[in-house]
Structure 1
Amino acid sequence: MIKKLEEIYLKLLELSKSPKKEYNSKEDLWSLIEQEIDIIQTEFSSYKQELESSTLLIESQLEEISRLYEEISTLFEISKIVASNIETKQILMPILSTLKKAINFKCGIINIDFEGSYSEAIGECPSNLESLVSQIDDDVDIIFKEKCEKLNNESIIYKTISTASNKKMGFILVSGKESGPIFTAGDKKIIESAAQQIGSSIEREIALKEEIERERLNQQIEIARNIQFNFFPKTFPNDENFDSYGESIPAIHVGGDYFDVFMKNDSLYGIVADVSGKGLPASLIMSSLRSAFKSLLESTNGDLLKTVTSLNKMLAYDVGDDKFVTAVFVKLTRDGGLEVINAGHDPLYIVKDKISKINSTSTPIGMFEFMEFEIQKTKLEKNTLIFAYTDGIPEARNINGEEYDFERLERLLSKVYILSAKDIVDNVEKDVFKFSQGALQHDDMTLLAIKYLG
């Protein structure tokens, strides 16, 4: 019997990891066995408690992981919805449906104020919901309540929809948790992310529409640019008496400068004009000026004074008070007779052995309907240069903000006037570009050179 008890004692020691104790009798051995059993029971009870605690922790962590997975799945689904639609209005109901599956609310509304107010709703929403929303301060970003007294003590989440610039574009509102008494922090996080993605969708749609509009405008500007360049002369009067050439370089896609040179009734006519302003409005006035000048010149049989007087009346009536045109008009006969009308424009240069100027003697055309213009007349010698331009030439600036100015232009003209009309224009352009050193120019540049050859 004692041998059997010894075997039991030794096995218990293996389990308890306790050291063996000496005994003198069967009663002592039995007492030692009972001690070891107590030790093992205590350890087992402690282990059981730890196991139960660990099980609860694991279950809690699994629940958290499951919830996190649900959140990520919901946000991924919303991301797919946003990515698959260009128009924000088309994503609102799919997002609401996705949110309802994830959060299980009774009522959900998404409202956006983008190109007009637009709303989508899902579930059974209280009749006073619109009234509640109207009372929310515009500065409030989010409301997270366990109980909303005005909505039957339901739990609610209200989140504004904003762009990156914090411009409010709408809101998401969900109320009434169907599974559980209140919404959770995880629900709030999902709603916040959904609002952010809807805001991003609105920004993307705005940017896309702006890009489409910009591209459409660029196409229209390019068409206008091509039309404008078609207005400028393709050929220039060049014969035994005259040599002429001109160019116009707009500061932006479409400019407000205009020039023309042509033969009529065996005389050469030239015009350089600068419409106030830039871009399409100036270009439209310029195109009107071109067609009217040639038409009026035809009706006056080449009379420069009558043509400019009629042109002024027409423009004063058509272009409005805030627009006008500075212009210099030239008529040159084969015997060297020169007529000039300078209407508010920069000086016209006459270059031979020295430089003389024909300055403005009247206001720009289009400012006043009834205006008397002065015609200035002179006789040109053989190989004399007539040079007209717009203020984009003397006012061209370099990277230091310095202007090209009239003196620099006059010094250059005194050197190059002996060249052909085209070479004169090319030399002035190159000198201006060299001076400006690639600086962005604020005004159009137009040049017209007419050589009287005798």
Structure 2
Amino acid sequence: MESKYKALIRTVQKISASLDLDEVLDIIIDSIKELVDYSAAVIAIIDKDGIFSAKTRGYPAGAVDHMKLGEGIIGWCIATGQGQVVADVRHNKHYLKARSETRSELAVPITTNTGKIIGALNIESDRCNAYTESELEVLTMFAGVIAVAIQTSMLHKQVTEKQRIDGELQLARRVIEDLLPKSFPLLEGFDIYGVNIPVEAVGGDYFDYIYVFDRLGIIIADVSGKGFPAAIIMASFRAYMHATVINDFSMRFALSRVNHLLYKSIGESKFITAFYGLLDPISKRLLYINAGHNPPLLVCADGSTRLLTDGGSALGVLANPRFSEKVVDFQSGDVLVLYTDGVTEAINSDEEEFGLARLEKVVRRSAHMRAYAICESIVEAVQDFSQPAGGMQDDLTISVIKVK
């Protein structure tokens, strides 16, 4: 027994020198063999989805990756908080076969000083009656000693991961901010303003204005996903759009080319919804293509409304989608509101969405104001609507074009 105590002390010294969870678990599982011999071993940890094998030795690949609480000898051990010696697993009702060679098994819970069970140590032998109550006592004591090290390493990993995610979100936000316009077009006969209000989880919202000779390109888009990957995809989209539309290609050709580049580069699970319009300030005519984006809302001076829905599918989904151009002829007093789903899909405490009807009501009420004031009215309405539910859950991006 004295040799086992010395082995235990050596293990404590080793794991005390590291906060890396993977390294700590390697030390622990290899140190068990100095205390109690095994043919296979697993350190199982509880997570939100059940039990997962944090570290294994001697098992076939994938044999003990995930378990349910209460399932198998390990699951029973964690669920009851009791250790167990099984002389012959072939006669144990809890046993789940992970190795054909296994004959006996020993499992003990890993319990913190506060009594919280965070996992289990489990060892298996190819011999029947390989373990006794003496080995159970040793492994139980060992589990108590290493519980603090495992919990500390797990907390360190969580903190490190949070810091990494926070850093990634900050970088993504800087990328998105660099993509957004720093000023707004001064176009005779029009009042134009836009806003992007980020939330903590960075999305891929984007809006822009591009002068295409004597016309103004108007863009709003939203990439699927969040974080740095979404920001990089949106940066690529902006570069593709700027490089393509300044050549004054037809709108259909421009979006087809951008779609081709995205389809080849962003992966199957990603896509971009986008609205692209070309505004002629002389004729006050807007040519547009809506590529799967939330339909911009046109509130006309005569009291009518129109949703700009037509155009084609989202970008990056199909290899060769078809796009069609549509036309809007503006009149003095008309207001066009482009937006992302952070506006209409904002949720209140009753889990109702803000929706198009509320957006239209706000725009009608503020249509006599300047474009920036219309933007502010929409933002305020969405924030007030979602505040009881904890505030906005997605970026809020709006672009307003008002005809003077």
> TM-score, structure 1 length as denominator?
0.62
Instruction: Summarize the Cα distance change of 1:80–1:236 in structure 2 as closer, same or farther, 3 Å threshold.
Output: same
CA-CA distance at 1:218 after TM superposition:
1.9
| Counterparts of 1:144 and 1:395, CA distance in 2 | 55
Judging changes above 3 Å, is the alpha-carbon distance between structure 1 residues 379 and 198 closer, same or farther for their aligned structure 2 residues?
same
Look up the match of 1:228.
Answer: 176
How many pairs does the alignment contain?
A: 336
What residue identity is the alignment partner of 2:278? Answer: K
Q: Structure 1 residues 295, 194: closer, same or farther in 2, change over 3 A?
A: same
Deviation at 1:432, TM superposition (A): 0.8
Distance 1:85 1:170, change over 3 A: farther
Q: Report what 1:408 is aligned to.
A: 358
Determine if the alignment matches structure 1 residue 262 to structure 2 residue 213: no
CA-CA distance at 1:211 after TM superposition: 2.2
Indicate if the aligned counterparts of 1:264 and 1:302 stay in contact, CA closer than 8 A: no
Q: Distance in 1 between matches of 2:37 and 2:253?
A: 75
Tell me which amino acid in the other structure corresponds to 1:446. Answer: T
Q: Which of residues 109, 119, 133 in structure 2 aligns to 1:167? A: 119
1:298 equivalent in alignment to 2:246: yes
Q: Where does residue 65 of structure 1 map in the other structure?
A: none
Give 2:235's aligned residue.
287
Determine if the alignment matches structure 1 residue 359 to structure 2 residue 311: no
Shift of 1:352: 3.6
Match of residue 448 from structure 1: 399
TM superposition shift of 1:199: 3.2
Residue 171 of structure 1 deviates from its aligned partner by 5.9
**Paired AA for residue 315 in structure 1:** L
Offset of residue 328 of structure 1: 1.4
Match of 1:373 in 2: 323
Residue 142 of structure 2 corresponds to residue 205 of structure 1: no
Cα 1:194–1:163 shift into 2, 3 Å: closer
Q: Which has the larger radius of gyration?
A: 1
CA 1:319–1:91: 2 relative to 1, 3 Å: closer
Q: Distance in 1 between matches of 2:136 and 2:316?
A: 65
Distance 1:358 1:78, change over 3 A: closer
Instruction: Summarize the Cα distance change of 1:118–1:345 in structure 2 as closer, same or farther, 3 Å threshold.
Output: closer
Whether the 8 Å contact between 2:187 and 2:281 is mirrored in structure 1 is no
Q: Within 2, Cα distance between the matches of 1:305 and 1:118?
A: 58
Task: Report the equivalent of 2:373.
Answer: 423
**Residues 325-336 of structure 1: pairs in structure 2 closer than 5 A:** 325-335=272-282, 336=284
Shift of 1:93: 9.8
Matches within 5 A, 1:78-89: 85-86=18-19, 88=24
Cα offset, 1:433, TM superposition: 0.7
CA distance in 2, matches of 1:432, 1:256: 19
SS of 2:344's equivalent in the other structure is: coil
State the Cα deviation string for residues 125-168 of structure 1 (Å, max 9, x = none): xxxxxxxxxxxx965845599xxxxxxxxxxxx97564445633
- Tell me the alpha carbon deviations over residues 316-351 of structure 1, each in whole angstroms, 9 at most, x when there is no partner: 333344333222111112211211112222322223
- Distance in 2 (CA, whole Å) between partners of 1:283 and 1:331 is 25
**CA separation in 2, counterparts of 1:404 and 1:169?**
51
Structure 1 residue 429, shift from structure 2 partner:
0.4
Q: Deviations over 1:52-96 (max 9, x none)?
A: xxxxxxxxxxxxxxxxxxxx9x99999787656535366899999
In structure 2, relative to structure 1, the CA distance for the partners of 1:95 and 1:374 (3 Å cut) is closer
From 313, 321, 327, the equivalent of 2:260 is 313
Within 2, Cα distance between the matches of 1:92 and 1:410? 63
1:373 partner amino acid:
F
Note if contact 2:275-2:289 (Cα within 8 Å) is conserved in structure 1. Answer: yes
Q: Pick from 395, 405, 409: which aligns with 2:345? A: 395
Residue 374 (structure 1) shift: 1.7
Alignment of 1:6-405 (within 5 A): 85-86=18-19, 88=24, 139=74, 141=83, 160=107, 162-164=109-111, 165=117, 167-169=119-121, 192-299=140-247, 301=248, 303-335=250-282, 336-353=284-301, 354-361=303-310, 362-405=312-355
The answer to whether the 8 A contact 1:172-1:191 is kept is no
Supply the RMSD in Å over aligned alpha carbons. 4.0
1:435–1:201 distance in 2 versus 1, CA, 3 Å = same
Shift of residue 217, structure 1, vs aligned partner: 2.5
> Would the aligned equivalents of 1:160 and 1:169 in 2 still touch at CA under 8 Å?
yes
| In 1: Cα distance, 2:11 partner to 2:321 partner | 69
Offset of 1:221 from its aligned partner? Answer: 2.2
**Alpha-carbon shift at residue 399 of structure 1 (Å):** 0.8
Aligned to 2:94: none
Residue identity in the other structure for 1:332: L
1:251 Cα deviation from its structure 2 partner: 4.9
Question: In structure 2, what is the Cα distance between the partners aligned to 1:381 and 1:75?
Answer: 83
Provide Cα deviations, 1:264-323, integer angstroms capped at 9, x if missing partner.
313221111122344444333322211111111123x26433212222222233334433
TM-score, structure 2 normalization: 0.69
* Deviation of 1:378 (Å): 2.9
